[in-house]
């Protein structure tokens, strides 16, 4: 396969960036998208140029490190996959592929395609936990039965990998799907009830401070989420938030 890559290059957070064209050939369908970039980087290094910087780590779709806006969609055109699981067989010979960083004011570019998603971490620092100490002297794990349905829903919310595709896809760069997944996980479990009020207020407050946009229910986040996190979580967080605001 021969392709033309249009890649965002930016040397650091303060510099101006621009799209640079890179023709690339000899790409096979079995390669993952990141392996295709590995090939490009090897070529660049051998030519004495600086390779393209991008976040990646586990390369099996679970760590949430890889990002990339590919042809205008986070993690590319395939559904329910991260960029590392996207394969080149989804593209055709002669294609032009735009590769850009996830864009949001709350995700400043570190270098090239790598962005700083620490705003997500700060949202979690604000309240993404249950205040139980780590002594292990808690009650027995089976002391509180939890409805299977709730446990399963909590699990579905908890599968969020924190990649930021929801923000990247959203026309408003809103972080509601991410934040609501975390809030939902705890809201659905009895262990999470005690601090439910403080948690949702603190996390939403932090989310607002980070400069994410507002949710306008376009649903783009749900479609692009590599883990299929549902919009129901956003509705649940809205409920939780209203409840908490009236209480708190």
Q: By CB under 8 A, what part of segment 112-141 binds another protein?
A: 114, 116-118, 120-121, 124-134, 136-141
User: Is residue 223 a contact point for another protein (CB under 8 A)?
Assistant: yes
Nearer to another protein, 23 or 242 (CB): 242
List strand residue ranges (DSSP E) for the chain, in order: 3-9, 18-24, 69-70, 73-74, 96-100, 109-111, 114-115
**Count of positions on this chain that bind another protein (CB under 8 A):** 132
Place of tokens 């479990």: 189
User: Is residue 246 a contact point for another protein (CB under 8 A)?
Assistant: yes
**Backbone torsion region of residue 116, taken as left when φ is above 0, otherwise alpha when ψ lies between -120 and 50, otherwise beta:** beta
- Pairing of the two strands 73-74 and 69-70: antiparallel
CB of 50 to another protein, least distance (A): 5
CB 69 within 8 A of CB 168: yes
CB of 103 to another protein, least distance (A): 5
CB of 52 to another protein, least distance (A): 10
List the beta bridge partners of residue 139: none
CB of 231 to another protein, least distance (A): 7
Place of tokens 């783009």: 220
| Rounded distance between C-alpha atoms, residue 44 and residue 244, angstroms | 54
Nearer to another protein, 23 or 49 (CB): 49
SS3 100: strand
User: Is residue 220 a contact point for another protein (CB under 8 A)?
Assistant: yes
CB 156 within 8 A of CB 230: yes
Report the C-alpha dihedral over residues 120, 125, 129, 133, rounded to 10 degrees.
Answer: 150
User: Is residue 193 a contact point for another protein (CB under 8 A)?
Assistant: no
User: Is residue 145 a contact point for another protein (CB under 8 A)?
Assistant: yes
CB of 134 to another protein, least distance (A): 4
Chain residues 55-74 in contact with another protein, contact rule CB under 8 A: 55-65, 69, 71-73
Nearer to another protein, 94 or 136 (CB): 136
Scored b (16 or more CB within 10 A) or e, 135-152 reads eeeeeeeeeeeeeeeeee
Give the helix/strand (H/E) hosting 238.
helix 232-247
Nearer to another protein, 3 or 111 (CB): 111
User: Is residue 92 a contact point for another protein (CB under 8 A)?
Assistant: no
Chain residues 147-186 in contact with another protein, contact rule CB under 8 A: 147-148, 151-152, 154-155, 158-159, 161-162, 169, 171-174, 185-186
For another protein, the binding residue among 5, 113, 204, 229 (CB under 8 A) is 204
Chain residues 4-43 in contact with another protein, contact rule CB under 8 A: 6, 8, 11-12, 19, 28-32, 34-35, 38-39, 42
């Amino acid at each position: 396969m021969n392709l033309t890559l249009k890649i965002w290059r930016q040397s650091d957070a303060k510099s101006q960036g621009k799209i640079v064209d890179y023709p690339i050939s000899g790409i096979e369908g079995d390669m993952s998208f990141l392996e295709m970039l590995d090939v490009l980087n090897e070529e660049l290094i051998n030519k004495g140029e600086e390779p393209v910087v991008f976040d990646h780590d586990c390369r099996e779709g679970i760590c949430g490190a890889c990002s990339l806006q590919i042809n205008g969609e986070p993690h590319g055109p395939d559904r329910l996959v991260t960029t590392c699981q996207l394969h080149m067989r989804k593209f055709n010979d002669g294609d032009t592929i735009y590769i850009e960083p996830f864009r949001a004011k709350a995700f400043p570019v570190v270098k090239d395609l790598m962005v700083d998603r620490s705003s997500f971490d700060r949202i979690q620092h604000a309240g993404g936990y249950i205040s139980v100490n780590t002594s292990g002297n808690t009650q027995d794990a089976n002391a509180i039965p939890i409805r299977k349905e709730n446990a399963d829903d909590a699990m579905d919310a908890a599968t969020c990998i924190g990649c930021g595709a929801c923000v990247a896809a959203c026309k408003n760069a809103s972080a509601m799907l991410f934040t609501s997944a975390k809030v939902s996980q705890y809201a659905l479990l009895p262990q999470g009830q005690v601090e439910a009020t403080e948690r949702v207020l603190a996390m939403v407050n932090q989310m607002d401070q980070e400069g994410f946009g507002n949710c306008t229910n376009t649903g783009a986040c749900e479609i692009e989420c590599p883990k299929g996190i549902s919009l129901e979580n956003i509705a649940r967080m809205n409920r939780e938030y209203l409840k908490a605001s009236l209480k708190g």
